[in-house]
Amino acid sequence: MTDNSSLLNGVDSARLADAVGAIQDNPKLAQCEFRTVTHWVSGAHARTHVQGFYGMGQEDTSRATPFLIESDEPPVLLGTNKGPNPVELLLTGLAACITVGLTYNAAVRNLPIEQLTIELRGTIDLQGFMALSDSVRPGFQGITVHCHVKSPASDEDIQALVEHVKHVSPVYNTVSEPTPVELTFQRV
């Protein structure tokens, strides 16, 4: 049950403090595993199922049905626009993670946020993806993130919050630092 007196920015700070305390007492609770399964539909169109995950020492079964995420490419990139393309989904994940980081950490710092919009832009040179140039990487050449924040907190407090989130955001860290990724195949 949520005590509305402990809500700030929509975050139950009492439950958040309890979770932090539990992890401090038992660091094994911090180990999480997130999973997705993607099925190819046709062309660039794919459908991803997101349902179970492991966290806080247990398998989470709170999602009775999976979230379904459609992905595709726009027609100019030979797709059928059935959903955002993979790089747009990556930007979405980054924006969502920064949003969680800002709102949760603002609540911990007792900083009210009245409005928050995260705007991202990423540039890609298709020469890398199309293997037309060995000197052009296939991934983003750069990503800019603009946080539009309405809050009675001082500029210094908001800037300190943003800097803190840069250090603790899992997705920010994943895209800004090298992350080992293993890619294998098996026949079906």
Ordered domains of the chain (ranges, CATH) = 85-177 (3.30.300.20)
Q: Which two tokens stand for residue 176?
A: 């800004």
Q: What is the pLDDT of residue 4?
A: 61
- pLDDT, averaged in runs of 10, over the chain (188 residues): 70 90 95 96 97 95 96 96 97 98 95 97 96 95 97 97 97 95 95
How far out from the chain centre does Cα 135 lie?
Answer: 29
Question: Which pLDDT score is estimated for 13?
Answer: 86
What is the model's pLDDT at position 82? 97
pLDDT for residue 112: 96
Determine if the pTM surpasses 0.85.
yes
Helix (H) or strand (E) holding 1: none
pLDDT recorded at residue 186: 95
Which pLDDT value is given to residue 3? 54
CA dist 3 and 68 (Å) reads: 32
> What distances in angstroms separate CA 174 from CA 3, 54, 169, 171, one per listed residue?
34, 19, 9, 5
